[in-house]
Amino acid sequence: MGTEELIARVIAAVDARRDEIVDIGRAIWAQPEIGFREFRTAALVADRMRALGLEPREGLAITGVRADMELGVPGPTVAILGELDGLPVPDHPAADPATGVAHACGHHAQVAQMLGVATALRAAAIEGHLAGRVAFIAVPAEEYVDLAWRTEQARAGRIEFLGGKPELLRLGVFDDVDMAMYIHASSDPDDRRLSVPAGSTGFVVKRSRFLGRAAHAAAAPDQGINALHAASLALTAMGMQRETFRDEDGVRVHSILTRGGDAVNVVPAEARLETQIRALSVGAMQDAIGAVDRSLRAGASALGAAVEIETLPGYLPLVQDPVMQRRFGRVARAVVGEEGWTTRPAFKASTDAGDLSQVLHLLHPSTGGFGGTIHGASFHVVDETAAYLDPTKALAGTVVDLLADDAAGAREVLAAAAPRMAKGDYLSFVRGLASVERFEG
Ligand SMILES: [Zn+2]
Ligand SMILES: [Zn+2]
pLDDT at site 340: 95
What is the amino acid identity at position 166? P
Helix ranges, 304-389 (H): 322-336, 353-359, 384
User: How far does Cα 430 stand from its chain's mean position?
Assistant: 15
From the CA of 375, how far away is ligand 1's center (Å)? Answer: 6
Beta strand segments in 331-400, E: 341-344, 347-350, 361-363, 366-367, 370-371, 380-381
pLDDT at site 78: 98
Residue 296 has pLDDT above 90, yes or no: yes
User: 50-68: per-residue pLDDT in tens?
Assistant: 999 999 999 999 999 999 9
User: 374-424: per-residue pLDDT in tens?
Assistant: 999 999 999 999 999 999 999 999 999 999 999 999 999 999 999 999 999
State the average pLDDT over residues 15-27.
Answer: 98
Q: What is the third-level CATH fold of 3-198+320-425?
A: Aminopeptidase (3.40.630)
CA 137 – CA 63 distance, rounded (Å): 11
From the CA of 194, how far away is ligand 1's center (Å)? Answer: 18
pLDDT at site 191: 78
Cα separations in angstroms, 106 against 34, 187, 390: 13, 10, 15
pLDDT at site 192: 82
From the CA of 121, how far away is ligand 1's center (Å)? Answer: 28
pLDDT at site 127: 77
In the chain, CATH 3.30.70.360 sits at 202-315
- Supply the CATH classification number for the domain 202-315: 3.30.70.360
Q: How confident is the model at residue 125 (pLDDT cuts 50, 70, 90)?
A: confident
Residue 428 has pLDDT above 90, yes or no: yes
Q: How confident is the model at residue 339 (pLDDT cuts 50, 70, 90)?
A: very high
User: 401-410: per-residue pLDDT in tens?
Assistant: 999 999 999 9
From the CA of 376, how far away is ligand 1's center (Å)? Answer: 10
Return mean pLDDT, the chain. 96
Nearest 10 degrees: Cα torsion 407, 48, 140, 130: 0
Q: Which ligand is nearest to the CA of 186?
A: 2
From the CA of 402, how far away is ligand 1's center (Å)? Answer: 28
CA 101 – CA 15 distance, rounded (Å): 31
From the CA of 172, how far away is ligand 1's center (Å)? Answer: 25
Q: How confident is the model at residue 190 (pLDDT cuts 50, 70, 90)?
A: confident
From the CA of 143, how far away is ligand 2's center (Å)? Answer: 7
pLDDT at site 348: 86
From the CA of 295, how far away is ligand 2's center (Å)? Answer: 31
Give the pTM.
0.93
State the average pLDDT over residues 344-362.
Answer: 94
Closest Cα partner for 369 from 195, 201, 199, 181?
195
pLDDT at site 225: 98
From the CA of 269, how far away is ligand 1's center (Å)? Answer: 36
Residue 347 has pLDDT above 90, yes or no: no
At residue 348, φ and ψ (nearest 5 deg) are -90, -5
From the CA of 81, how far away is ligand 2's center (Å)? Answer: 12
pLDDT at site 146: 92
Looking at residue 387, what DSSP letter applies?
I
The percentage of residues in the chain with a pLDDT greater than 70, rounded to a whole number, is 100
State the average pLDDT over residues 243-252.
Answer: 95
Q: Which ligand is nearest to the CA of 106?
A: 2
CA 431 – CA 160 distance, rounded (Å): 10
Q: Which ligand is nearest to the CA of 364?
A: 2
Q: How confident is the model at residue 189 (pLDDT cuts 50, 70, 90)?
A: confident
In the chain, CATH 3.40.630.10 sits at 3-198+320-425
CA 128 – CA 109 distance, rounded (Å): 29
